[in-house]
């Protein structure tokens, strides 16, 4: 497997958090089917899965999964409503051209790498989850 492929589609949670300048976010989620659609529940919120990610989740089986999201693929929205994951900004680290923003959510703390104007600590924000590029893992595959 080439480095780029390993970065974009890691096979284990360990590889997901080991490779890259900022580790991949790993979120506990519950996958469930309802009326033919596959959903993820993260904290109290639920999200419909796009077809490609739904295929990967069905391959693993519904129930508890780990959802992997790259920090540079996530976006912060001022609107904390659906379909964004609601959170509170815990910290903002200025890296020069980019900022590393940690957000506390119902599913855990997520890191977002952004070159846009960062919110302030304590702000309530929405996180656009890039479910079409997400990685999914079985929790028992090693965190």
| Confidence at 127, pLDDT banded by 50, 70, 90 | very high
pLDDT digits (tens, 9 = 90+) for 34-76: 998 999 999 889 999 999 999 999 998 889 999 999 999 999 9
The DSSP line for 64-131 is EEEEEE-GGG-EEES--STTSEEEEEEEEEE-SS-EEEEEEETTEEEEEEESSPP--TT-EEEEE--G
Nearest Cα to 143, choosing from 40, 29, 5, 18? Answer: 18
Q: Which residue has the higher pLDDT, 59 or 16?
A: 59
Topology of domain 3-141, CATH: OB fold (Dihydrolipoamide Acetyltransferase, E2P) (2.40.50)
Q: Give the pLDDT of residue 10.
A: 78
Q: Domains of the chain: which residue ranges? A: 3-141
> Which two three-digit tokens encode residue 29?
């989620």
């Amino acid at each position: 497997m080439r480095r780029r492929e390993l970065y974009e589609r890691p096979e284990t949670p360990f590889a997901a958090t080991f490779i890259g300048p900022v580790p991949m976010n790993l979120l506990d989620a519950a996958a469930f089917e309802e009326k033919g659609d596959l959903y993820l529940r993260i904290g109290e919120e639920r999200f419909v899965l796009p077809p490609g990610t739904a295929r990967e989740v069905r391959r693993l089986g519904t129930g508890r999964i780990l959802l992997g999201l790259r920090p540079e693929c996530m976006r912060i929205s001022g609107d904390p409503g659906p379909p964004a994951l609601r959170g509170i900004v815990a910290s903002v680290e200025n890296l020069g051209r980019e900022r590393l923003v940690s957000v506390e959510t119902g599913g855990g703390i997520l890191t977002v790498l952004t070159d846009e104007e960062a919110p302030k600590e304590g702000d309530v924000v929405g996180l656009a989850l890039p479910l079409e590029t997400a990685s999914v893992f079985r929790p028992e595959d090693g965190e």
